[in-house]
Amino acid sequence: MADSKLPPGFADLEPFVEAWCLDSEPERYAKRLASTMDEIQTFYDAIFPRAEEAIVHLEQFPLDELPDDALRLLKLLYSLILVSFAVEIWRQPYIPDTGTASFDLKLEPTP
């Protein structure tokens, strides 16, 4: 498939690439806050059961030599990590009782 964005076998996750394949933690966190719980739950339900398979696929590459499609899959897993708290713990996008406090990841390694 010429225009597939994810590695073969992960076509079911293609619909989430546009929204959840993000480059940095601040973008991922902002996306979580800007999403409804329905949107977050739909993404989580689609990717969580595929996470182990995705990791096994990604493990075959050195971290700094991931092909583009694999890199996109990895970024989806990063988004899964950030939304997991909303789904598994808070049942809402934001952390309770955090008011207007901010705590932003200014530097993170890539990929």
Partner 1 sequence: MQQARKAPLQYPKPPEGTWTEHYSELGTAPVSYESMVSPEFFQLEREAIFKRAWLNVGRVEQLRRKGAFFTKELGVARTSLIVVRGMDDQIRAFHNVCRHRGNKLVWTDHPAEEIGGTCRQFACKYHGWRYDLDGRCSFILQESEFFGIDKADYGLVPVHCDVWQGFVFVNLAKEPEQTLTEFLGPMITAIDYPFEKLTERYYYRGDIRSNWKVFLDAFQEFYHPPILHGHQNPVMSQAEYKDQGFYTMHFQADGPHRVGSTSGGAGGLLPPQMYNPIELVMRSGLFGPWDPSEIVTTELPPGLNPGNKKRWGLDSFQIFPNFAIVFWETGWYLTYHYWPVAHDRLIFEANAYFAPPRNVRERLAQQLGIATIKEYALQDCGTLEATQMGLESRVLPATPLGDQEFMCRHLHKVVHDWVDDYRRSRAEG
Contact 13, 73 (CB under 8 A): yes
Distance separating alpha carbons of residues 23 and 46, to the nearest angstrom: 20
Span from 1-9, 10-18, 35-43, 98-106 in contact with partner 1 (CB under 8 A) = 98-106
How many residues does the structure list for the chain? Answer: 111
Residue 109 to residue 2: CA distance in whole angstroms: 30
**Interaction mask 24-63, partner 1, x per CB under 8 A:** -x---x------------------x--xx--x--xx-xxx
Binding site for partner 1 (CB under 8 A): 25, 29, 48, 51-52, 55, 58-59, 61-63, 66, 74, 77-78, 80-82, 84-85, 88-90, 95-99, 101-109, 111
